[in-house]
Structure 1
Amino acid sequence: MKSYGLLSATAIASAMLAIGAPAWAQTSTPAESASLSTSPTETDKSDDSNDILVTGSHIRSIYKGADPVITIRREDAVANGFSTTTDLLQSNAITNGTSQINNAYGGYVTNGGPGANTISLRGLGPSRTLLLLNGRRLAPSGSRGAVGSVDLNTLPSAMVDRIEVLNAGSSSIYGSDAVAGVINVITRKFKGLELDGEVNVPGVGAGVQKRLAAVFGAGNDDFSINGSIEYYKRNALAYADRDFSQCQIGYRNDGKGGGPGTGDFIDPKTGKSKCYGIANGTGDSGVTINTIGLPGVLGGTVALAPGVPAGYNGTCNRFRPNPLVTTGAYPGYECVGGGSISLNVRDTFAPSLLNQPLISGTENYNGFLSGTYNLHALGDAELYGELLVSRRDSSQLGQRQFTIDYNQGSLLLPTALRNGNFGSCVQASFPTCITGTPVAARVFANYGNYNNYQTSDYVKFGGGIRGNLPYKFHYDLYASQSWSDARYTTDLILTNRLAQSLDVVASGSGFACRNPVGGCVAAPALTSDVIGGVFPQAWLNYVVAPVTGTTKFRETTFAANFDGPLFDLPGGTAQIALGAEHRSQNIDDTPSTESQNGNLYGFTSSTITRGSDSVTEGYGELELPLLHNQLIHDLTVTASGRYTSYRSYGGNFTYKFGGLISPVEWFSVRGSYGTSFRAPQLFEQYLGATSGFQAAQNDICGNLTANSLPNRIKNCAADGVPLGFTPTNGIQVNQRGGAASGLASENSRNINVGGVFNPKFAGGSFSLSVDYFDIKVSNGVSQLSYSTILSQCYDSVEFRANSVCNLVVRGSTAPYPLTVTTGYVNIATSVVRGIDYNARFTHDLAGGKVLLNAKVTQFLSMYDQNLPTDPIVDQVGFVRQPRFTGVFDATYALKGFSVHYSGEWTQHTSSDTYVTGNDPTYNFNTPDYWLHSLSVAYKAPKYEMTVGVRNLTDKNPPSISAGYYNRVGNAPLYSGYDFVGRTFFVSVTTKF
């Protein structure tokens, strides 16, 4: 369980480094002078004195592993301009081009809350990737109710020695979550004092990153202490800072051979393709602003705005102020919508949209401390301990529309508009209106920016005792406690205050709240300023308040491991490991009182997420070296099994078999077959109920005709809904956790088969590996969308006998209000298959040494099925799911100087056939994407300096059409593309 230093020097270099650095500059111990291979675990046999633990095993041996493990060192991160461990972990070198949640997702709802960064191997999600620090689990942290994965911001950077990535399921070794693989972050052993600083400056001048750190260590034969303290700050990079993100358009072809964008709507005010609101990440309709909804009148009786067809005689019901209009039904206003008029003639873009962060800012503080003390007793026992402390202060600007209902008769309206009837009050959609009172005018204004900010604290303390037992056995007893505490705040409009401020009486020359309790400030009278988003500050100060929630997550672990030799075999000594572990977790997310009471205007309500779970496990692992230099060079097999008992869902057994055969020293075949599982995370079980609303037109029983699906017609009629019904109420959507419905664990099976070719020759080395992987997750935890629930219910032959219909409640009389409850259930199936290719070449050259690396991943299949009846849609090659990704690098080192080049490749993608059926109007394909980086480093005994540039050619991300994928400007929201642009970096280290 404890990782003692896998390998270094030549053995580490043999890991098919995804990003290279001068590995030959280090010193090798005899046990680590291995032949080059694709895994750092593949070294020559050695005696017990040099036995170590490897990632993916509890046995102390230097066995050539059955599964591929790659290793990336701290020097590699520096050479490529990765300022933090987070940046390195989310790079293509580790993720194989699968999308990750990073600081570009600040405006989206993500697990762990805004500002949290996570890691997902094989594209199976962060909950199916296990992250370790020095061989031990890290507990989840973050904010809001859906905390279930490690926030990478908690990891130290300067203290990291290397990162080992096991790309194979390993639940029989590590327990839950090790479905797609295991990442082990290993810290440095250091004596002395080291000061470390790095700055990354994008070419646009914004979004600067700074990191300062001190690393220290001391010790002798009886004790050691190592630690680091560091500070990291990343300034936000706004949409306005990058050209490609300043104008989101439809990005459509005209279907006549024109390029992308030539078929976009032309803004009549500018004569150019219209820019839409970036807040609408998938579409191109933007968010209507600077507009007012009034009772509909014929176009011939009002002034028509530019872009409205001349002579339009349909019904106009959307207007914007124009003081030049002096006649017609609404003097001072011109028509911008209604009926068949395109929405594009309205204002949908506000300059404040560009203040939103393209990359959100964060300020992190990290501390790490580890120590050992030799007791000279209890089997030459050693006491050991670790402390990890971190704080993340992050923030994100949001953007919103402000919809204000002025009720019929309101004194805040001009007399000419006061008695109109724009429509009935629909409290579900506009909760500030007074039920039963007609709305005379509805303002669609631009609120502007609002702030989200979080503080997330994380502490983990762990330690134990390890020593020797008779017969060369070893023991390791360990305990740890983790604490995660977060506060999350958003500046939001309170519904009750807004409603109170809109209910006014005359007061002198102005207005006052009818109910003055709480220092109520009357809402502003309707003016062109209000429609344009200019509001009195005193009123905003009253209706807007910071709303704060808190999140707490706790994890306690006790573990014991025993390992040692069993008996001799022709290939060596059989080894065994036995152990047990107990973990307990609890979560408590308490949203603000205003959120719990549904008092946040335009935002969903939420309730407390609170629950706990515990697990007790026992495991065993066996290594059998059957042959060594007898007929063949090597033959070793391994087996492992783990029984797990969760309080929440019961027991589960996982197992794994693997082996490696080397007919000759320079060629090996390896493989493994195993099962893994993932226990439901606490938030998936106990997520507090939340409620929100979807548009009325999404009611599946709305606007049915005789040509609609027969089952749908029949089932809607059974609920009392007639043909031709036009829904007017929003759909209430409630969400909940899955504990009440018996949520169980996910199960998976994992197959890995590969070969390693590593001949030796004078003056250099070459190695090549090819590994096939095949992962299938069954009984996966998924949350059905409200639309899936409605279609599965109303299109079903069984209808109300269908269990999914228990999640649908409908009123029996018009307007037939509809409520859908969604929750986490065990239904999904996920499949990922592919091949990893790794190659490495080193050779002496002109007094120095050259190192070439190539790491390519090919995905063969990748799909999800939420329901067994869902069609299988293979996503490989789609936008954000490239078939091939690769990292290629070259390093030349001579006398302390080194030059490093890296190229990161993402293959072209296309979703045209799937999304549009190859409609030439749309563009859902991207070209091959390359990022080039270059750095120069100098290393002296007491001083190191690296200078370089990432994204050397200042490559922008590609563009796609609106309407299907979330976009950043016109680019797909995808972590494999660089949104920052060319970035210069300098790293300096001084040792004392």
Structure 2
Amino acid sequence: MANVFRQKLLASTLLAGSMLVATAAAAQDAPADNNQSVELPSTDSTEADDAPIIVTGSRIHRDNFTTPSPVNVYTRDDRVLAGSRTTAEILQSPAVTSGTSQINGSFLGYVSEGGAAASTVGLRGLSSSRTLVLLNGRRLAPAGVGPQLVSADLNTLPTAMVQRIEVLREGASSVYGSDAIAGVVNVITDDKVNGLTFDAFTDQPIEHGGGGRSYRLSATGGKVFDRGHITASFEYRQQTGLRVGDRKEFSCPRDLYFDPTTGAEVGQHDPVTGQLMCFPYTTNGGSGIASGYGIAQSFYPQPASRITYNNGDINQIKAVNGLDRTSASPTQLQDHLLSPVKTYTGYVNGAYELGMLGDAEIYGEGLFTRRESHQDGTYQLNLSGGGLSPNNEIYGGDYYGTPLSVYGFPTSPFYPNAVAAAGYQVFTPFVVPDRTTRSSQRIDFVRANGGLRGSLGLGDWHYDANFQYSLTKSRYELELIDVSRLNNALQTIEAPAGTPDNLVTVALPGQAGAGGRYTCASNYSGGTLVSGASCVPLNLYDPAIMLGGHIPSNVFDYLFVDNVGHTTFRQQTFSLNLDGTLFNLPAGPVRAAVGFEHRYDFINDVPSEAAQNGTLYNYSSAGITTGSDIVNEVYGELNIPIVKEKPFFYDLELDGSVRYTHYRSYGSDTTYHLNAQWAPAEFIRFRGNYGTSFRAPNLYEQYVADQTGFYGSAVDPCANVGTLDHSSTVYKNCITELTPILGTDNPLTPQIEGAQGFIATAGPQVTTRGGAGNLKAEHSTSWGVGGVLTLPKTIADFSFAVDYYHIKVKDEVSVLGNLILDRCYEADDFGPNNPYCALIAPRLPASDPQKGNLSSFLNPYLNVAQQGVSGIDFDLRYSTPLFGGKFRLAAQATRMLHQTFQLFATDPVNDYNGTLGVQGAGSGPKWVGDVDLRYTLPSNNVTVRWGIKYVGPQNSGDGETVAAPLVGNVLTDLHAEPYWEHGVSIQFRWADVGQITMGANNLFNALPPTLSSYPTSGGQFTRVGNYYNSSNYDLLGRTLFINVTRSF
């Protein structure tokens, strides 16, 4: 791993339909046809037009949508017309996220936030942990599997009930508390439903190949009565998985290296077709998985070689070194690109006026979501992982005529005679089974809150007291090899008489024990068959297994076990908010809000026993992660109208908020925010803001239990110490440390003896652990200026908003990985008193066969990094009568100016803007945007829509010449071309009956941009096939959708 940026690489792909377009900005007095939800026929809005409202970004009741903060609103009608499959799809669109990649169903790694198949949203490229998601103004707790539950899973949202989504893209910790560094997403449900509505939706890829289809069914019912309302819904959603082989575009990944002179593509060729190979394994494994051959080693003075069988004949072997390899395993075509997901969502809300306690209203809300998801993936069985027994039978043949068994080597009865005859005594194949392994998740998420709100009897002062309880209970399952079972299957005896056939493997002709019946030594004890014995010997050298992965089912079922883990996350909150008018000024009432919030968070993640014990083969160990935190906060907010309806001062007002926070885990913080808006005339408004925000270390960063993994030997700063600059600090520190272990150098042969001749042959174990007690909160400052032009409707129904933003985050919580080693050995104060060196265990002693190698180091979460982002948002809205109907245009765009990341204060500041970059450090296109064109016919019953999404280019080395192992100097293409995606739809409405909406997403079947693999980093930029894997791009291709709504 070259550096921390590549360690933190994370890219993902969005199931994107046509982009939804926000309003120009809620900072203007918003007309109902654009910023308010267009009600479906199932709803009957009875809300009074003059009822006070609360806009996202404030806790003060206001008379309209006028706010100094840039708030974008996305309505239910936007979602329906655009054919969006989920609420997550709206929120993860490039126009909302500024074109930065998001985690969704295409990111299937267990170590992702929320675990596999989770969907999260992060604004401004600052990650989902720095974006706060609310449901009806209240915090939406994390959901998912594994210990990394740090942000809300958008799969839990009740799509059928979502009326609108308000997105505030500026820091708001002084209003909402921790996590609101980049902004706030507030999902608002409908609470004024009269009647019963059924809704059905499906989205079908034109070229589906069995995958990528979406279905959604929902029923919503409600009743509004004199003193309250009750609303409930149930929704079922299914997304079928998309496999690599379901799209021809993704089913043949190559490295995409090109000859610098001719421009022709170069690389590994398929030995059968002679064409460039799909899934090559020639340089870094970024495209394919090694399979169908093995590493043969000799005790004689001859080099190791890659060996396979010639034409599948065990009696004939051939070398496949250099660019030669066997054909790739077709099992990889069964890997999931998009996770299959099913969700079951129930939602209810209600309110009832008590007629007492200041016209008090008691209210409540309940949400239950079950998510079921799974992922199939290719597994490679090799014999290079930790935990393998030295008694495993991977040896064969003889040494100068004497069988190896005489020397005590555990020889295999299945060892190929042809390999032994070629002088190789050790043979370790790479095997890819012809069936995938499965990971699965089941998440139950419950959220319930209730409260009392009403008038205090002091002018227009209101109170709102609320208690909320959220619970995630999840189960996750991983199908992996238990290393003890693998060891058993590789240690055999001749099967005694009476051994059941299902416990026996027969050696094949051409193998050392040809015709013999063998069983696992572990099946017998003292010559007696052990009760419940189930081990079956694994014949790795069987051509059917080594070449085709056809592991017999009884062997496969014994080796692979289901490892079950459980996660619990619990959150309890209590809040009390008071707001009203303090006094009146000539320009209007001075309003205020004050309040108190209490929150308790608890996590308990219990991995499988094998994961805890570290006995999963080629898989990191994980301990039990458990911990809790308590936070208490008080806040205040003020709205001051200074001048109203005066010359050059049609409106001038100030807003300010402050919050004091105390966390049990790390201490206290105070944040504040100031907003101002000035309208010199009714049609023009300027606004500005400045504030501070924070993010407290989440439970994962504090309490994650020790998770172990291994680095390669190349991360050792002393890996080849003799080649280092002898005047460098690193060289001097290496010699100082290695000399007591390896001795002083022989002056006649300094390069091969003693400390100076050290060459690392093994890598260290790394243990990642939480930083509880040592971490402090991240802090940010943000500021912005902007303006909104709204023409009088006598001229045109037109508005245009421009906003500049700037956010800087300090003390970001991060892990350093192998940079800990670099920082230690580069230090002048090298030794145990250096904070980085203190994390590194002593090197292996002289008595160890691997003497001098690094043994292990700790990788705790630390406050180290600094990140910044700035840019300009553009929002435009225009509508006009046309041919008796109504034409509407809405456009939204973002120009990112800077996306900077600095790991250490002494490091240079890296700006990744406009590059492919790396997730977690900020990166993405400079320009993103979308356009929404609609025309409603004169009858007002038919609307047609055309949507356009644009993602600008990203360049990280177009035409760069690099040295690729085996291939030599090659040209790489690391340039993502501009991406355009179109969608069309038509909607038919029948008053009091329902509506039908149908259309096409990705109308012209736009594909993500192609990228080369990168030779030195294992594929630096994540790809799907040959295409860039980012949520900005659509993986499904052209799809047709239909949405039918029927009301009663």
Structure-1-length-normalised TM-score: 0.89
Q: 1:351 to 1:422 in 2, by over 3 A?
A: farther
Is 2:493 the partner of 1:505? Answer: yes
Q: Structure 1 residue aligned with 2:427, among 438, 441, 452?
A: 441
Q: Structure 1 residue aligned with 2:809, among 777, 800, 815?
A: 777
Distance 2:620 2:970 in 1: 38
The question of whether the paired residues in 1 share the 8 Å contact of 2:708 and 2:768 is answered with: yes
Equivalent residue runs for 1:137-176 within 5 Å? 137-176=139-178
CA-CA distance at 1:27 after TM superposition: 11
Residue matched to 1:460: 447
Distance 1:409 1:705 in 2: 35
Q: 1:903 to 1:927 in 2, by over 3 A?
A: same
Query: Could you give the per-residue CA deviations for residues 684-741 of structure 1, whole angstroms, max 9, x where no partner exists?
Result: 100010111112233221112244371111111222162232222232011100104x
Residue matched to 1:951: 1002
Residue matched to 1:925: 975
Distance 1:765 1:28 in 2: 25
The question of whether the paired residues in 2 share the 8 Å contact of 1:729 and 1:815 is answered with: no
Distance 2:344 2:800 in 1: 41
Distance 2:405 2:824 in 1: 41
Q: Structure 2 residue aligned with 1:352, among 312, 319, 331?
A: 331
The question of whether the paired residues in 2 share the 8 Å contact of 1:9 and 1:27 is answered with: no
The question of whether the paired residues in 1 share the 8 Å contact of 2:958 and 2:975 is answered with: no
Residue matched to 2:794: 762
The question of whether the paired residues in 1 share the 8 Å contact of 2:268 and 2:280 is answered with: no
Residue matched to 2:202: 199
Distance 1:354 1:422 in 2: 44
Q: Structure 2 residue aligned with 1:940, among 990, 1012, 1023?
A: 990
1:569 alignment partner AA = L
Distance 1:494 1:503 in 2: 15
Distance 2:697 2:439 in 1: 29
Q: 1:388 to 1:422 in 2, by over 3 A?
A: farther
Distance 1:957 1:746 in 2: 35
Residue matched to 1:38: none
Residue matched to 1:672: 689
- Range with greater deviation from structure 2 (744-753 or 761-770): 761-770
1:464 alignment partner AA = G
Query: Could you give the per-residue CA deviations for residues 434-486 of structure 1, whole angstroms, max 9, x where no partner exists?
Result: xxxx9832121113411000000100110100000122210011001111011
Q: 1:954 to 1:789 in 2, by over 3 A?
A: same
The question of whether the paired residues in 2 share the 8 Å contact of 1:9 and 1:26 is answered with: no
Residue matched to 1:890: 933
Distance 1:409 1:501 in 2: 11
Q: 1:245 to 1:757 in 2, by over 3 A?
A: same
The question of whether the paired residues in 1 share the 8 Å contact of 2:57 and 2:172 is answered with: yes
Residue matched to 2:510: none
CA-CA distance at 1:823 after TM superposition: 1.4
Equivalent residue runs for 1:90-105 within 5 Å? 90-105=92-107
Residue matched to 2:838: 806
Q: 1:224 to 1:293 in 2, by over 3 A?
A: same
Q: Structure 1 residue aligned with 2:475, among 462, 487, 494?
A: 487
Distance 2:198 2:27 in 1: 25
Distance 1:25 1:609 in 2: 46
Task: Give the number of the structure with larger relative contact order, counting CA–CA contacts within 8 Å between residues 6 or more apart.
Answer: 2
| CA RMSD across the alignment | 2.9
1:830 alignment partner AA = Q
Query: Could you give the per-residue CA deviations for residues 795-849 of structure 1, whole angstroms, max 9, x where no partner exists?
Result: 1222223211111113243143321211111111010000001111100001100
Is 2:554 the partner of 1:559? Answer: no
Unaligned regions of 5+ residues in structure 2, if any? 1-25, 411-423, 497-515, 524-529, 740-754, 917-922, 964-968, 1015-1019
Query: Could you give the per-residue CA deviations for residues 608-634 of structure 1, whole angstroms, max 9, x where no partner exists?
Result: 000000000000000001111123200
Is 2:775 the partner of 1:730? Answer: no
- Range with greater deviation from structure 2 (496-505 or 146-155): 496-505
Query: Could you give the per-residue CA deviations for residues 517-540 of structure 1, whole angstroms, max 9, x where no partner exists?
Result: 551423233322232222222122
CA-CA distance at 1:50 after TM superposition: 3.0
Is 2:947 the partner of 1:909? Answer: no
Distance 2:329 2:696 in 1: 45
Query: Could you give the per-residue CA deviations for residues 97-127 of structure 1, whole angstroms, max 9, x where no partner exists?
Result: 1110011111463111101110010010001
1:936 alignment partner AA = I
CA-CA distance at 1:258 after TM superposition: 2.3
The question of whether the paired residues in 1 share the 8 Å contact of 2:611 and 2:622 is answered with: yes
Distance 2:1004 2:928 in 1: 19
CA-CA distance at 1:501 after TM superposition: 2.2
1:835 alignment partner AA = I
Is 2:856 the partner of 1:819? Answer: yes
SS at match of 1:515: helix
Residue matched to 1:623: 639
CA-CA distance at 1:936 after TM superposition: 0.5
Q: 1:180 to 1:776 in 2, by over 3 A?
A: same
Residue matched to 1:692: 709
- Range with greater deviation from structure 2 (954-963 or 870-879): 870-879
Q: Structure 1 residue aligned with 2:464, among 469, 472, 476?
A: 476
1:781 alignment partner AA = V
The question of whether the paired residues in 1 share the 8 Å contact of 2:481 and 2:560 is answered with: yes
Distance 1:75 1:65 in 2: 23
Residue matched to 1:451: 438
SS at match of 1:651: strand
CA-CA distance at 1:257 after TM superposition: 5.1
The share of aligned pairs that are identical, in percent, is: 36
Distance 1:422 1:717 in 2: 38
The question of whether the paired residues in 1 share the 8 Å contact of 2:312 and 2:543 is answered with: no
Distance 1:661 1:174 in 2: 25
Residue matched to 1:633: 650
The question of whether the paired residues in 2 share the 8 Å contact of 1:408 and 1:439 is answered with: no
Q: 1:968 to 1:274 in 2, by over 3 A?
A: same
Residue matched to 1:56: 57
The aligned length equals 928
Unaligned regions of 5+ residues in structure 1, if any? 1-5, 33-48, 300-313, 426-437
Distance 1:282 1:359 in 2: 24
CA-CA distance at 1:277 after TM superposition: 5.9
Q: Structure 2 residue aligned with 1:132, among 117, 124, 134?
A: 134
- Range with greater deviation from structure 2 (915-924 or 747-756): 915-924
Equivalent residue runs for 1:176-325 within 5 Å? 176-188=178-190, 189-205=192-208, 206-256=211-261, 258=263, 262-276=265-279, 283-284=285-286, 286-296=288-298, 315-322=303-310
The question of whether the paired residues in 2 share the 8 Å contact of 1:357 and 1:397 is answered with: yes
Query: Could you give the per-residue CA deviations for residues 918-945 of structure 1, whole angstroms, max 9, x where no partner exists?
Result: 9971111021100000001011111101
Query: Could you give the per-residue CA deviations for residues 374-393 of structure 1, whole angstroms, max 9, x where no partner exists?
Result: 10000000000000100000
Residue matched to 1:865: 902
Residue matched to 1:434: none
CA-CA distance at 1:790 after TM superposition: 1.1
1:730 alignment partner AA = G
Distance 2:343 2:46 in 1: 37
Q: 1:23 to 1:854 in 2, by over 3 A?
A: farther
Q: 1:108 to 1:614 in 2, by over 3 A?
A: closer
The question of whether the paired residues in 1 share the 8 Å contact of 2:215 and 2:238 is answered with: yes
Equivalent residue runs for 1:586-625 within 5 Å? 586-625=602-641
Query: Could you give the per-residue CA deviations for residues 744-776 of structure 1, whole angstroms, max 9, x where no partner exists?
Result: 110001112100111124374111110000000
Residue matched to 2:418: none
The question of whether the paired residues in 1 share the 8 Å contact of 2:43 and 2:193 is answered with: no
Distance 2:973 2:990 in 1: 52
The question of whether the paired residues in 1 share the 8 Å contact of 2:268 and 2:325 is answered with: no
Is 2:364 the partner of 1:385? Answer: yes
The question of whether the paired residues in 2 share the 8 Å contact of 1:144 and 1:589 is answered with: yes
Distance 2:84 2:684 in 1: 34
The question of whether the paired residues in 2 share the 8 Å contact of 1:862 and 1:874 is answered with: yes
SS at match of 1:500: helix
1:727 alignment partner AA = A
Q: 1:825 to 1:72 in 2, by over 3 A?
A: same
Q: 1:751 to 1:323 in 2, by over 3 A?
A: closer
